[in-house]
Chains A and B, each alone.
Chain A
Amino acid sequence: MKTKRILIIVIALFVIGVLIRLGLPAVMTGMGLHKEYEGQRYLLSQGKALIITTSHDRLGDGGDKTGVFGSEMTIPYYEFREGRMHVDVASIKGGELPIDPKSFIWFIKSEHDDRFLADPVFQGKVKNSLKIDDIDFTKYDIIFLAGGWGAAYDLGYSKVLGQKITEAYAAGKVIGGVCHGLLGLLLAQDENGHPLVKGRKITAVTDKQINELGISITPQHPERDLKAAGVEFESATAFRDMFANHVVIDGRIVSGQNQNAGAEVVNLMMKVAGGTRR
């Protein structure tokens, strides 16, 4: 009798385990995490895109490992590639760029992350990322700023990044990003020498999401700091903001609230850059 009961419990646990393993990623997607982009896609044949990430790999001093949120780099990379663009990957300091290990947890990671993990070419670009100082941003049609907690430590403080984005914007290029990546716009200027973001409609990670996830240790917070810089901040909300999704186009600046907006932001950037429907 006893052994039978144990057997039933073991089997039940096994079934529950299988259901969770198979079902949880689908539930997360259903709630809005990395929801499949079903809108119009674009291509920019012969175009070049630059993805910029953080080089900062720790939360606080000696805290948990962090970096770029995986899918905020992988989804744009593959969407640009499918849009027939050449894609380079750069970071603030160059060299191997840090990826937030939490973004690759099995029920969080996207299918594009899986693709990255099996793609030696892309992995090579991540291991040997370009240093932004060495790049002429005006050679690119599109500049994409990826987020993740690491970006809150360096993107908004890099004068080099600010200067390079200023040059790219002046040259008529399309600038955009998601999540904490948009902090990279803070030090950039428009053609008239005014702060680029002032009076602009932009979305990024909300203060609510930061509170919900309990990670307020980072020195910058997109909603707070962009608003302080004069941004007309926009966002959507959900029962947890990490499942919300919002995208804003303001002229040549395209922003997405968080990791869920990657594909849409990238396609709209290609559209703004003169891309073709595909």
Chain B
Amino acid sequence: MKNKAGANRLESILWVLSGGIGVIFLFLGLGFLILPEVFAIAFFAEPARAVGINSLRGDFGALFLGMSFFCLLGTLTSYRWLLLVPIVFLGFVITGRLISFAVDGLPMVMAGTLISELMFLTVLILYLIFYSLKSDSQSSSPVLKVLYSRQFLVIAGIVIVLVAGAFMSHRQIATRLWEKVASGRISRQNVFGELPDGLHVGLAGTGSPMPDAKRKGVCTFVKAGKHLFIVDSGPGSTLNLELMQIPLGDIDAVLLTHFHSDHIAAIGELMLKAWANGVRKNPLKIIGPEGVDTVVNGFNQAFSFDTKYRHAHHGDAVAPLEGAGGTPETIKVFNEDKGTVFFQTNDLKVTAFLVDHRPVEPAIGFRFDYKGRSVVISGDTLPCDSLRHQAEGVDLLLHEALQPEMLRVMNQAGAASGREVVANVSMDILTYHTFTEEAARIARDANVRHLVLFHIIPPTPAAVFQSAFVGNSKKYYKGPITFGVDGLLFSMPPNSTKILKKWFL
């Protein structure tokens, strides 16, 4: 009698614990499904590319929801043997973690998680063992019988041997794989060259001076037929251009909108990479408003040692001295409405126009027209009529965007925690940037086909904040609004209305 009462109590405890585990998995699964990036932080699993959010929602969400489903089903129904499913999953999760500790040589930060997983596994196994002991052999599930069968054990043994073998010959596999990866990378360089004729606009940096884990400093590339332009060169963006396999040696010119750090900090690296990796025979042309010579000469001077080293090391074949550095070229925009056309061929026209980023003066934006397709890049600006005028009827408007409400919260948090610099800067920048909803109204007024928001302020660490950032914009502008992310490519075939959005990073 006493034994039975004790057994019953133990069973209820195990029932509660297993149910609790199911609920925890449910919470994690829903978390990954709804707020993937937030939950990924807890698991040190933020995706390296923005598109990785897809796998977070899909794969991670499915893993936890699946475990939860079978855990709860096993607990709440009489099909107790269903607990085998989360047990198997947990077993593999733990195996994976242990392998990682052994192989990856990283600090064991996930040890805490491992311990809780081990605890979960213990509870579920205990419950299952308890169940199979309690129920006599006839009612025991056929599934459990399969587990003890010879065939199953043989297959499991083979799998274990294969995995162990793979890890023992880790180095050989890695070396083989590297050959494939390396040759693949080198030969992939043609992807950009194989883009069909048209106007292509790629986002290589969509951030601002505020640190943003997802976004490099402002940088956009524009490929129009055979011509290639880079607009602005914000910190870190050259790396993105390289990852996107942009042939830096083929750049016609780098265009600068103004000289704030988040638009020019990577010029030195861009000039160097275009020269030493792209084998340029002449310096990179860098076009910008008055003052561009000071900026470019400064970078030339700062990189003059590196130029000498590279030439001394690689010689003329890779780093011919005459191609090093950059040459500045000043654009003067006199007519506020019309702007200045500074590059023109039969098919392509590039226009610079004034924007309002006071006290930064002059600050300019650019418009590209190629075979009936067009894009306007705002640079940094308040809402201004010259941009509205230039953007009239364009296919694509890349407009800088600041969300004042989100910034206001940051300001108040900064003030509350005594971080006055945060509080002051977050208020000051309101006066020379465009609010998201204003960008939408400009897109509406100018009959733009597609609005792309970039130069995102404040940094939005997770996709869930996008809707807050966009705010009421959709009320004003009915066309598509893309929240800019590094790696997006917009392709516009000649003389059509299509705008194809691709992933290019």
Q: State the A residues within 8 Å of B (CB).
A: 41, 43, 45-46, 81-82, 84, 118, 120, 276-278
Contact = CB atoms under 8 A, between A and B. Distances in A.
Contacts of B445: 277
A18 to B, nearest CB: 26
Interface of B: 356, 358, 382-385, 388, 404, 412, 415, 430-432, 434-435, 438, 441, 445
A276 B431 contact: no
Contacts of B385: 276-277
A276 B382 CA distance: 9
A158 to B, nearest CB: 32
Contact of A84 (B388, B415, B431, B441): B431
B383 A277 contact: yes
Contacts of B412: 118, 120
Contacts of A46: 358, 431
20 contacts: A41-B438, A43-B383, A45-B356, A45-B358, A46-B358, A81-B430, A82-B404, A84-B430, A84-B432, A120-B412, A276-B356, A276-B382, A276-B383, A276-B384, A277-B388, A278-B382, A278-B434, A278-B435, A278-B438, A278-B441
**Which one of B358, B384, B388 has the highest number of Cβ atoms from chain A below 10 Å of its Cβ?**
B384
Contacts of A82: 404, 435
A219 to B, nearest CB: 40
B383 A120 contact: no
Contacts of A43: 382-383
A84 B382 contact: yes
B476 to A, nearest CB: 10
Contacts of A278: 382-383, 434-435, 438, 441
A272 B412 CA distance: 33
Contacts of B384: 276
Given A45-B356, A276-B383, 19 more contacts: A41-B438, A43-B382, A43-B383, A45-B382, A45-B431, A46-B431, A81-B430, A82-B404, A84-B431, A120-B415, A276-B384, A276-B385, A277-B383, A277-B385, A277-B445, A278-B382, A278-B383, A278-B434, A278-B435
Contacts of A120: 412, 415
A45 B438 contact: no
B451 to A, nearest CB: 16
Contacts of B382: 43, 45, 84, 276, 278
Contacts, number: 36
A215 B432 CA distance: 45
A81 B432 CA distance: 12
B432 A45 contact: yes
A74 to B, nearest CB: 14
A139 B286 CA distance: 42
A224 B180 CA distance: 89
Nearest to B438: A278
A236 B93 CA distance: 72
Contacts of B415: 120
A236 B383 CA distance: 33
Nearest to B430: A84
A46 B432 CA distance: 9
B216 to A, nearest CB: 28
* List of 10 A-B pairs having minimum Cβ-Cβ separation, nearest first: A278-B383, A84-B431, A278-B438, A45-B382, A276-B384, A276-B383, A276-B385, A45-B358, A43-B382, A45-B431
B337 to A, nearest CB: 14
Nearest to B383: A278
Nearest to B476: A38
Contacts of B431: 45-46, 84
B4 to A, nearest CB: 44
A107 B411 CA distance: 29
A46 B382 CA distance: 11
A276 B434 CA distance: 12
**Which one of B383, B385, B388, B438 has the highest number of Cβ atoms from chain A below 10 Å of its Cβ?**
B383
**Which one of A41, A81, A82, A278 has the highest number of Cβ atoms from chain B below 10 Å of its Cβ?**
A278
B457 to A, nearest CB: 15
A82 B431 CA distance: 8
A118 B384 CA distance: 31
A120 B408 CA distance: 12
Contacts of A118: 412
A120 to B, nearest CB: 7
Nearest to A40: B441
A208 B298 CA distance: 70
Contacts of B432: 45, 84
Nearest to B423: A121
Contacts of B404: 82
B430 to A, nearest CB: 7
B425 to A, nearest CB: 15
A120 B404 CA distance: 17
A122 to B, nearest CB: 11
Contacts of A41: 438, 441
A162 B435 CA distance: 37
Nearest to A84: B431
A43 B358 CA distance: 13
**Which one of B358, B412, B431, B441 has the highest number of Cβ atoms from chain A below 10 Å of its Cβ?**
B431
A43 B432 CA distance: 11
B417 to A, nearest CB: 13
A41 B415 CA distance: 29
Contacts of A276: 356, 382-385
A141 to B, nearest CB: 14
Contacts of A277: 383, 385, 388, 445
B7 to A, nearest CB: 44
A276 B415 CA distance: 31
Contacts of B441: 41, 278
B463 to A, nearest CB: 27
B357 to A, nearest CB: 10
Nearest to B434: A278
Contacts of A84: 382, 430-432
A45 B385 CA distance: 13
A89 B25 CA distance: 55
Contacts of B435: 82, 278
Nearest to A86: B431
A81 B434 CA distance: 13
Contacts of A45: 356, 358, 382, 431-432
A46 B415 CA distance: 23
B186 to A, nearest CB: 49
B90 to A, nearest CB: 45
A278 B437 CA distance: 9
A46 B434 CA distance: 15
Contacts of B438: 41, 278
B275 to A, nearest CB: 40
A108 to B, nearest CB: 23
A41 B442 CA distance: 11
A81 B435 CA distance: 12
Contacts of B356: 45, 276
